[in-house]
Structure 1
Amino acid sequence: MHYLDPKNDLTFKRIFGEHPHLCKSFLNSVLPLEPDALIEELEYLSPELVPEIPVLKRTIVDVRCRDQKGRQFIVEMQMHWTESFKNRVVFNASKAYVKQLDNAREYKLLQPVYALSLVNENFEPKLTDYYHHYKIVNISQPERQIEGLQFIFIELPKFKAANLQEKRLQVLWLKFLTEIEDGANNIPPELLEEAHIKEAVHILESGSYSKAQLEHYDQYWDSIRSERSLFLDAEERGRVEGEHTGFVKGE
């Protein structure tokens, strides 16, 4: 049996965008939610149009949903990282928060928005932590905060389950995302011991996809490689132009 990579556009959206009970299990395991504030039910929301990042247009896979309390969750798989992603994430979450006023006439009725970004590259090379949680806090008294927006970034390449003493379910879901690669034949046995993750693993079986779907799967990887190459080329051109400008000014 061959398995597909869960980070691909096709598989990620099938698992977390079509199975609310799997998405709920995943979010409850990785989000900083208090035990008495866990997600009980989820409904999916239509994706909103957001500004595309130049060059890297297909590197983001997202799922949007809302729970029984009205809290919104934006889940993004980011295959490549640029600093502009941070601005996009803030814009996206803020837009989701503000759009609640279409239905709520009072500000006090607005519910929190959680933006979860799963990043397939390291973007904080000087930090050893893979989990980054941001919220609006009082600088001198961090325990005092303004409710509304929270941002969670997870650097997948830094995740090493063997070195962690985290929550078991969080570890298993992150192992699911990081240790199953395209064409894998074997699945870590501990993933099959948890019912929801075992179900997600079965969804990755290549035999359950049509020829057209597998072509879409391959096309996504091709687009990732092409856009990554374009990004590196643009980055190199910027570096060369910068050096040339500096040389001219020096002259």
Structure 2
Amino acid sequence: MPKLLSLKNDFVFKKIFSQDQEILIDLINSVLRLPEESGIISVTVKNPEILPDEIEKKFIILDVRAVDQEGKEYDIEIQVRQYENYPKRTLYYLCRMYGDQLNKGENYAALCPVIGIHFLDYEQFPDNPDFHYHFFLRDTRYPNLSLTDDISLHIFELPGIERSMKHRDKMQEWLYFFNHAHEEGENTMEANYSNPMIKKHMTRFNS
């Protein structure tokens, strides 16, 4: 089995996760650590195409947009390079996804949560020891007091997974796969991964 294409490549990332809902479901359930009994069972990818004009843009945003059976929307991205305005751009896109759910005159009660899942191949917060950060609207003095969880963002810093990983669970196995899939051959892949979804679909990454 030849070496695999890197999942950190924007085009590979979008092609794999937009064309196979089964593997996308497993990725979301794993990295969000959703309990098996309440995990996502189906998703619909809202932007599966890679358009020619996207390829020609100076700053490419090849994200995967999905909605689950409860109406929750997901923005799933891989960021290889660090851009100065990444936080503002991220907030803008999540808020736009939230606002685009309603037409003029519709009830606000119809709004569903929007969840960002971003994998960064750099450290956005280099002075912090963790690799997983979860942002949403909470009071600064009373962190348990939430205004709403309807807009939230999960950031996974891929470089930090190596030093933080002690007992590898499904989330950490996926992140390890992001970092090392393109380096591994068939034997090492069989030894390094227990997740049946990764094993089942790893041949799709063949170069």
Matches within 5 A, 1:85-104: 85-102=86-103
* Number of equivalences: 199
Q: Find the counterpart in structure 2 of residue 75 from structure 1.
A: 76
Output the CA distance in 2 between the equivalents of 1:173 and 1:35: 17
Mapping for residues 167-178 of structure 1, pairs under 5 Å: 168-178=169-179
**Aligned AA (2:185):** N
Partner AA of 2:165 in structure 1: N
Return 154-163 or 197-206, whichever deviates more.
Answer: 154-163
Contact 2:165 2:172 in 1 (8 A): no
Give the distance between the partners of 1:80 and 1:196, measured in 2 at CA.
28
Q: Compared with structure 1, are the counterparts of its residues 101 and 197 closer, same or farther at alpha carbon in structure 2 (3 Å cutoff)?
A: same
What is the root-mean-square deviation of aligned Cα atoms in Å? 2.7
Q: Which residues of structure 1 form unaligned runs of 5+?
A: 207-251
Closer, same or farther in 2 for the Cα pair 1:118/1:196, shift >3 Å?
same
The change in CA–CA distance for 1:199 and 1:35 in structure 2 (over 3 A counts) is: closer
SS in 2 for 1:181: helix
Distance 1:192 1:156, change over 3 A: closer
Which of the pair has more CA radius of gyration? 1
Alpha-carbon distance between aligned partners in 2 of 1:157 and 1:188, rounded to the nearest angstrom: 20
- Unpaired runs of 5+ in structure 2? 49-53
| 2:126 matched residue in structure 1 | 125
SS in structure 1 at match of 2:97: helix
Q: Is the 8 A contact 2:14 2:64 kept in 1?
A: yes
Contact 2:65-2:74 at 8 Å conserved across structures: yes
What is the CA distance between 1:6 and its match in structure 2?
Answer: 1.6
**Partners of 1:44 and 1:65 within 8 A in 2:** yes
The SS at the match of 1:188 is helix
Conserved 8 A contact 2:32-2:171: no
**Is contact 1:191-1:197 (8 Å) kept?**
no
Tell me, yes or no, if the aligned pair for 2:73 and 2:114 is still in contact at 8 Å: yes
Runs of 4+ in 1 over 6 A off after TM superposition: none
SS of equivalent to 2:101? helix
The separation in 1 between residues aligned to 2:104 and 2:18, in whole angstroms, is 24
With normalisation by structure 2, the TM-score equals 0.85
Q: How do 1:1-251 and structure 2 match up within 5 A?
A: 1-2=1-2, 3-31=4-32, 33=34, 37-46=38-47, 57-58=59-60, 60-102=61-103, 105-145=106-146, 146-160=148-162, 163-165=165-167, 168-181=169-182, 184-186=184-186, 187-206=188-207
Compare 184-193 and 171-180 and name the one that shifted more: 184-193
Confirm or deny: 8 A CA contact 2:45 2:67 kept in the other structure: yes
Q: Which amino acid aligns with 1:185?
A: G
State the identity as a percent: 24
Greater percentage in helix:
1
Native 8 Å contact 1:161 1:171 kept in 2: no
Contact 2:131 2:164 in 1 (8 A): no
Equivalent residue number for residue 51 of structure 2? none
By how many angstroms is 1:83 displaced?
3.1
Aligned to 2:143, the other structure's residue is in SS state coil
Structure 2 CA distance for partners of 1:20 and 1:62, relative to 1, 3 Å = same
Asked whether the equivalents of residues 161 and 175 of structure 1 are also in contact (C-alpha less than 8 Å), the reply is: no
Q: State the distance in 1 between where 2:139 and 2:129 align.
A: 25
1:12 is displaced (CA, Å) by 1.1
The TM-score normalised by the length of structure 1 is: 0.71
